[in-house]
């Protein structure tokens, strides 16, 4: 039986950028439910020259394993509610922050497909549709408050990349996970809208259930990848859209009017903090609209230290094991 899981990474800004206070939020989540969140949460940090713009990156919460799309989305809602209950900053589910230029400071939405009788066939069939699958949640329109296109993260992040010959190499857009034995779709950006996430997973489920082996065509995808990251839906890929819609009748407007387009418009209408406020509101309540933002100051460092000690150090054995396996 096919199984599905989601790892969702999000930024928590205070209010324009993440701080080490994010570690405090993770420590509080871990303390509330250590049996679950010891293995279902993670912290991320910027690297190299990106450290000049700040150490803290996104935080990650992951669901359990499900055989049903609706129960998976209910689980994701519960993870979001847990973070919303402890985070005083703005929760910003995006591939890359609007006001940064940091390819190591990015967030993703990773979907795992497990339980397949033939992992290679499922992997190849996902590759067949990969030129359109990221568009369901694509959401990284700007660098340093200048428009880039649909996903700066897809183009520039160190944690994703073109499809290579070895499907277990970690930093590709789709891989076979060494640690979990699942097909891991890594290319997608996070977004606030659960309807977009639901349709993405529905499509992946339908693709995984196709009995015939489709042509994976990784060369086509790799050649188109840069153009997709800028333009989104390419005219050359409309036959793929029709092919997928014949399997799952998803709303075409999800690919034509993307989450990235929505965030660009939000920034133009409401400014940086207003856009982050709107996406935070969407994440917490399902309403994409800005709200009043209260700037909290003074305890970032202290709460960051407490969070680091209470969260990161307690999970060092797990980080070490995970690093060795992956």
CB neighbour class for 295 (10 Å; exposed up to 12, middle 13-18, buried from 19): exposed
**Beta strands of the chain (E only): which ranges?**
3-13, 41-45, 56-62, 90-92, 109-114, 142-143, 146-147, 174-176, 183-185
Q: Are 274 and 291 in contact (CB under 8 A)?
A: no
Q: Return the pLDDT at 296.
A: 67
Q: Return the pLDDT at 311.
A: 87
Q: Return the pLDDT at 32.
A: 95
Interacting residues of 210 by C-beta distance below 8 A, sequence separation 6+ = 125, 247
Q: From the CB of residue 178, how many other CB atoms can be counted at a distance below 10 Å?
A: 12
Helical (H) or strand (E) element with 28: helix 21-32
Provide the number of structural domains found in the chain.
Answer: 1
Q: Return the pLDDT at 302.
A: 79
Query: What is the rounded distance in angstroms from the CA atom of residue 281 to the CA atom of residue 93?
Result: 11
Dig out the tokens for 143 from the structure: 């660098």
Q: Return the pLDDT at 146.
A: 98
Q: Return the pLDDT at 309.
A: 81
Read off the pTM. Answer: 0.95
Q: Return the pLDDT at 307.
A: 84
Domain that includes residue 210, residue range: 3-325
Name residues of the chain where pLDDT drops below 70.
296-299, 318-326
Q: Are 154 and 108 in contact (CB under 8 A)?
A: no
CATH number of the domain residue 223 falls in: 3.30.590.20
Q: Return the pLDDT at 298.
A: 56
């Amino acid at each position: 039986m096919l199984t599905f899981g989601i790892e969702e990474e999000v930024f928590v800004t205070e209010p324009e950028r993440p701080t080490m206070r994010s570690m405090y939020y993770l420590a509080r989540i871990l303390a509330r439910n250590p049996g679950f969140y010891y293995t279902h949460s993670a912290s991320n940090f910027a690297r190299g020259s990106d450290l000049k713009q700040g150490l803290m990156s996104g935080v990650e919460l992951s669901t359990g394993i499900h055989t049903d799309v609706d129960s998976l989305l209910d689980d994701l809602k519960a993870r979001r509610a847990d973070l919303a209950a402890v985070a005083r900053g703005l929760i910003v589910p995006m591939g890359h922050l609007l006001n940064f230029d940091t390819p190591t400071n990015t967030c993703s939405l990773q979907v795992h497909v497990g339980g397949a009788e033939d992992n290679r066939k499922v992997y190849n069939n996902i590759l067949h549709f990969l030129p359109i699958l990221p568009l369901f949640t694509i959401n990284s329109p700007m660098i340093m408050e200048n428009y880039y296109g649909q996903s700066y993260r897809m183009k520039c992040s160190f944690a994703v990349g073109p499809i290579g010959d070895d499907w277990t190499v970690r930093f590709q857009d789709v891989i076979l996970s060494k640690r979990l034995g699942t097909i891991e779709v890594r290319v997608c950006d996070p977004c606030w809208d659960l309807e977009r996430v639901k349709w993405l997973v529905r499509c992946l489920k339908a693709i995984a259930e196709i009995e015939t082996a489709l042509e994976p065509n990784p060369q086509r995808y790799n050649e188109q990848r840069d153009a997709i990251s800028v333009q989104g839906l390419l005219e050359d890929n409309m036959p793929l859209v029709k092919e997928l819609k014949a399997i799952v009748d998803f709303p075409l407007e999800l690919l034509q009017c993307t989450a990235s387009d929505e965030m660009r418009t939000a920034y133009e209408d409401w400014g940086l903090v207003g856009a982050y406020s709107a996406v935070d509101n969407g994440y917490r309540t399902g309403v994409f609209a800005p709200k009043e933002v209260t700037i909290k100051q003074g305890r970032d460092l202290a709460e960051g230290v407490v969070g680091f000690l209470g969260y990161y150090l307690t999970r060092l054995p797990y980080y070490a094991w995970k690093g060795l396996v992956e």
